[in-house]
Amino acid sequence: MSTNKSKLYSIFTSKCPQCREGAFFENKFSFNVLKTTITKTHCPKCNLKYMREPSFFYGAMYVGYGLSVGLAIAIYVISTLFFGLTMRESLVAIAIGLFTLAPWTLRLSRVLWIHLFVSYQKDPNKRVK
Ligand SMILES: [Zn+2]
């Protein structure tokens, strides 16, 4: 049982938003996009149904878009300020960076999306199934 149940810890360790204990994904993080983004249907601890409604995780695309834009800006700033790359070289660095970090952004966007709609419930008797 985890003693640290902060929302940030739950998001970055991909835990259930309601109990913050159960795993959200079937597999641990890997760079295989097809394998790493498989979401469990229910929380193994509190039995929360992760797919809140049909096509629930389509909304995570907007979160993923925001994450990708933020990463692109960060890569651009780092590549120009610290490495002195030109605009064209920075675009190549952004493309490589976004492609490499795609599995991470896909996972994080899904976890962030469900954390927007399901809040933490400390009392196990009041948890939604
Ligand atoms: Zn749970």
pLDDT tens, the chain, 129 aa long: 445 689 999 999 999 999 999 999 999 988 888 888 899 999 999 999 999 999 999 999 999 999 999 999 999 999 999 999 999 999 999 999 999 999 999 999 999 999 999 999 888 877 877
DSSP 27-76: S---S-HHHHTPBPSB-TTT--BS--STTGGGGHHHHHHHHHHHHHHHHH
CA of 78 to the centre of ligand 1 (A): 38
Angle at 83 between CA 79 and CA 89, to 5 degrees: 55
CA of 88 to the centre of ligand 1 (A): 45
Residue 1 domain-assigned? Answer: no
CA of 123 to the centre of ligand 1 (A): 12
Consecutive H or E run containing 129: none
Q: What is this structure's pTM?
A: 0.87
Residue 30 domain-assigned? Answer: yes
Cβ distance 107 to 29 under 8 Å? yes
Range of the domain at 64: 7-123
Cβ distance 127 to 19 under 8 Å? yes
Number of folded domains that form the chain: 1
Residue 88 domain-assigned? Answer: yes
